[in-house]
Amino acid sequence: MEKHWTEESSRKFSYRITADFFDEIQEKLEELGLSQMDLAVRMGVSESQVSEIFDNPLNLTIDIRNVCVLLAPFPLSDSAFRSIFPQPIQSAHLGGGPTLNRRAVPKPEVLVLLSGGLDSTACLSFYVSLGRPCTALFIDYGQPGATPEEAAAVRVAAHFGVPLQVIRIRGARPKSDGFIDGRNAFLISAAIQERPPSVSVVALGLHKGPPYPDCTEEFVKATQKAIDVGTSARVQLAVPFLDWSKALIGSLCDESGVPVELTYSCEAGGHPPCGQCASCKDREEIVARASR
């Protein structure tokens, strides 16, 4: 049989496997009540890129693992991924061009807003595990916990071997702990302004649970629209954990070996942490699990 395995037959086989796979993805999207736009938001790409993949799955423009990860409870390890999917659909190609990988694209393409906390650390780990060249940005905007947060961000970035940029901005009024109006919009705007030219994705560790208006899907979509129409930047927001609970992020940290002991999370900005707020308790629980 091997002598009859031509390039054309391989291409047809690849197309059939890939097309069948995307049919399953479409069914999963419908089951979850997600649109292709919703998927684009979570993957940090444009809706047109997602549509192009579904219309012509053989001409992939993004790593298919992104789809697997965001529709599954946990990211697949490389070995598990290779054991499930054949080689033709393990790589992403641009119009039949070279495979996208860290060597082919050495400049950073994903900027992760890194606060030094659990969520942003998990977000950085997520994109590093996908092989996306990353850079990180810490913003000191006068928050109470700025000093320990920055120290944690430095530790986390060093662990992943990712460059970290630190910027300091001071407003007219001191910032309080807890919810700060306009915080995420401000951080996103600063990230777009300060990003390296090669960056096309700004990623945040937003997740389900906090009752804040700037942690919602509506906020992400509205902010993306503002970026599209109000700037010349071709930047996509990425929020891979938007539908995830804090507990699920904690499980991801356990499964992926995220260095939670390097992080800092305290709503009061205490140094040492207060140990009483929800962020402290969440972190303590996850660190305790990781150390067992």
128-178 pLDDT, tens digit each: 998 889 999 999 999 888 999 999 999 999 999 999 999 999 888 878 777
Amino acid present at 261:
E
- Report the sign of the C-alpha dihedral through residues 142, 148, 151, 153, in that order: negative
Residue 164 φ then ψ, to 5°: -120, 125
Say yes or no: 61 and 138 in one domain.
no
Between the two ends of the chain, the Cα-to-Cα distance in Å is 51
Say yes or no: 132 and 205 in one domain.
yes
For residue 70, which of 34, 94, 99 has the smallest C-alpha distance? 34
For residue 284, which of 244, 239, 245, 246 has the smallest C-alpha distance? 246
Say yes or no: 149 and 194 in one domain.
yes
Q: Is the pTM of this model over 0.85?
A: no
For residue 236, which of 202, 185, 272, 269 has the smallest C-alpha distance? 202
Burial of 272: CB neighbours in 10 Å, binned 0-12, 13-18, 19+: exposed
Domain count, the chain: 2
Say yes or no: 142 and 220 in one domain.
yes
What's residue 157's pLDDT? 96
Q: 197 in a domain, yes or no?
A: yes
State the pairing for strand pair 201-203/134-140.
Answer: unpaired
Say yes or no: 57 and 198 in one domain.
no
Helix (H, G, I), strand (E, B) or coil at 164: strand
Q: 123 in a domain, yes or no?
A: yes
For residue 89, which of 138, 53, 129 has the smallest C-alpha distance? 53
CA distance 219 to 208: 13
All residue ranges of the chain with pLDDT < 50 are 1-5, 7, 10, 60-105
Q: 97 in a domain, yes or no?
A: no
| Residue 264, number of CB atoms within 10 A of its CB | 27
Range of the domain at 197: 110-290
Say yes or no: 129 and 247 in one domain.
yes
Q: 265 in a domain, yes or no?
A: yes
pLDDT tens per residue, range 62-84: 444 444 444 444 344 444 444 33
Q: 99 in a domain, yes or no?
A: no
Say yes or no: 38 and 179 in one domain.
no
